[in-house]
Structure formats: structure tokens, C-alpha cells
Amino acid sequence: MSDQIELASILERNEGSVLTAWVAGQQSSTTRQGVISEGELIETSRVFLSLFARAVKTDYDEELSGEVWQPIKAHLVALSRERVIQGFSPVETATFIFSLKKPLFDALRKDIGKDAARLADEVWKLTLTLDKLGLLTVEAYQQTRQEIIERQQQELLDLTTPTVRLWESIVALPLIGTLDSERTQVVMESLLEAIVENEAAIAIIDITGVPTVDTLVAQHLLKTVAAARLMGAECIISGIRPQIAQTIVHLGVDLGDVVTKATLAEALKVALRRVGLTVNKIASAVRES
């Protein structure tokens, strides 16, 4: 009897007991029993075991190269993605497959335990197959987690580059954190979109929240200023603290004719004057009237 027929026949006769033992093993090995209901765990395991039995019966290939293995792979990828979101660790996720070994080994031993050579061959081939499926869950888990991390990084990047309309034709872009090449691109796109949307004549780039300014950061700022000018907006850089001023001088960075101010408030005053507006105290305005 071939390996394919052997294991398929054993699975067919023992599917119920294997499923029960497998689910019990998963429940005893996971620390997140409250996240997945027992019914959901049973159904997920039942679907996989059914797909696995069909694959083994059709094409028992430990390389998982046949078409019949594709539904199993898709099932495991979907399961791994879901468990990332549910907070499972890679080990807990891979346990879904590795905990199936003992129930299947027990079933093999029950049926062919008297033939040591056949049992050894079956156990070894089944081990290779389940190990590959287990590694597949780990790979899918890691890929999903990396995608989530990258998405969160992008969302955080967007949150740290908000563009604010301060007044008619005046926008401000407060920067927080390090300004690298990738972030400069996001900053530039955000600022240019705001200039177009608000028909801004003045754009204030506030670097109060930027911890350090070196030559590279200064170059990124100048690129952003140049891009804004091409859109017809004049830029003012605010948040120039004494330490940053000394660093810029020490590095010999030439900001050209870019207006710089120590605070956002001072930059706003300049911006208002540039667009022909002033801010007066209410009392002064009343006396003048």
C-alpha cells in the first residue's frame, strides 16, 4: 500500500478522533483562549483537516507542489493574517499546525504500529509535510505583521505632517521629529497640496518640534521651500532656536533669502503683513475708531 493511500485511509477512519484530540491540544497550548471561541476553533480545524485529507488522498507530496495543496496554503495564510490581528505570537500561530502532529502520529501508530519500518516511513514523511505547513504559517504571519507595521508607520508619518490653514492665503506646516529623505517627500507633497487647496501665498514651516538640524535636514528644508516657490507661495521658517541657529552657522548652511523667525507667532505676524493684514488689540481698535 502506498504512503498516499495509507495516510488517506487512516485519516478517513480516524478523522473524528483526530479532530477532537487536535482541538483539545490547541486549547491546552494557547494562552489566548478567550480570543477565539471553541466553536470557531473547531470549525477552522475541521476545514483544514478536511482539506488536508483531500490533498493527501489526491497527491501526497511533502513538497506541497501540487494544485491540491493550494486551498490548504490559502487557508493557512488567511488564518495567520487573522491571528496577527488577534494578537497571537508567531509560535502560537504555528502551533495550529504543529499540534496536529501528535493526533496523527497516534492514529498512525494505532493502525500500523506493528510494522516498525512502515510506521517510521509514514511518520517521517508526515513530519516533513507538517513542518513545511507550519513554516508557511510563520512566513504569512511575519509578512502580515510587516505590512501592518509599514501601514502604521505611514499613518504616523501622515499624522506628524499636518498642514494647518492659519488665515486666508496663509498655511502652516508644523514638523515634529526627524526630517529624512522619505519624510521630506511626504512633507513636500502635503505642503504643495495645501498651497493649491487654500490658494496660499504664504507657507510657514515650523521646525520647533525638530530635535536637530544638520546639513541634510537643512537641504531638505530648502528643497521644500523651492517646491513651494514654484507653486507661487513664499515660505517662512519658524522655530529657529538659539542652538539650531548656532548649528546652521557652524555648518555654513546658506538659507538664502528665506525668512526665518524664532517662533510661529512671529512668523505669523510677518505673514499677515505680507498679505496686507495686521492684528490690533480690541481696545486700540476702539480708540482709533
Which domains does the chain show, CATH number per domain?
3-157 (1.10.490.70), 164-288 (3.30.750.24)
Amino acid at 4: Q
Q: Which residues pair with 171 in a beta bridge?
A: 165, 203
**In 3-state terms, what secondary structure has residue 235?**
strand
pLDDT at 96: 93
Q: Give SS3 for 202.
A: strand
Residue 168 has pLDDT above 90, yes or no: no
Q: pLDDT, tens digit, for every residue of 230-254? A: 999 999 999 988 888 888 888 787 7
How far from 175 is each of 237, 240, 246, CA to CA, in Å?
11, 12, 20
State pLDDT tens for residues 58-72.
Answer: 888 778 888 899 999
Range 130-149 burial, b when 16+ CB lie within 10 A, else e: beebbebbeebbeebeeeee
CB 157 within 8 A of CB 113: no
Q: Quick one: how many helices (H) and strands (E) in the chain?
A: 11, 5
Q: Is the pLDDT of residue 201 over 90?
A: yes
Strand 170-176 versus strand 164-167 pairing type: antiparallel
Q: Which amino acid is at 120?
A: A
pLDDT band at residue 47, thresholds of 50, 70 and 90? very high
Measured CA to CA, the distance from residue 134 to residue 91 in angstroms comes to 10
pLDDT at 1: 45
Which residue in 83, 9, 15, 74 sits closest to 49, CA to CA? 15
**13: pLDDT strictly greater than 50:** yes
- Reported as half-sphere exposure (CB side, CA atoms, 13 A), residue 243 has a value of 7
Distance CA 133, CA 73 (A): 8
